[in-house]
Amino acid sequence: MRALLRLCDALRHRGRERRWAADLATGRRGEDLAHRFLQQQGYIVVARNYRTRGGSGEVDLIAWEGDTLVFVEVKTRRSDEFGSPERAVDHDKRRKLIRAAGDYVRKAGTPWERVRFDVISVVLSAPPAITHIRDAFRPRPALY
């Protein structure tokens, strides 16, 4: 079954590479791999590419791990030649993630005490290297 899923992923990625800009296709491939990785770890993914109404923030994946709502930023690179992908989650990106998470949490009625922010780093080597950083950062109360 996993071989079939890998084949489907590869075909989908090739199609995207033909239609999309290379960086968008690479990012989406990483999100696909991260989504499947989280499912294999027992997470229940409830949203992908969630954006606030005003476009001020975006979250790649939102999932439940038990009673914790996890907001996941996925960073993908073709290689780690210029450093690990997770280094791209800077202060500005965190602020936008927190803003989008706040919007989602208000709509879902979930208390902040049950929220966590993770980062998944994907390097598209053969096979792809996936690093999951649980609780990668904590928002300060003033940010949400």
Residue 7's pLDDT is 65
- Give the domain CATH number at 38: 3.40.1350.10
Amino acid present at 73: E
Tens digits of pLDDT across the chain (144 residues)? 667 666 666 666 566 666 667 777 788 899 999 999 999 999 999 999 999 888 778 999 999 999 999 999 999 988 887 778 888 889 999 999 999 999 999 999 999 999 999 999 999 988 899 999 999 998 875 544
Residue 15's pLDDT is 64
The residue count of the chain comes to 144
Q: How many domains does the chain have?
A: 1
User: Over the range 104-139, which residues count as b (16 or more CB within 10 Å of their CB) and which as e?
Assistant: bbeeeebeeeebbbbbbbbbbeeebbbeebeebbeb
Asked whether the beta carbons of 118 and 132 are under 8 A apart, the reply is: yes
Domain containing residue 32 = 2-143
φ/ψ of residue 5, rounded to 5 = -65, -40
Q: Full-prediction pTM beyond 0.95? A: no
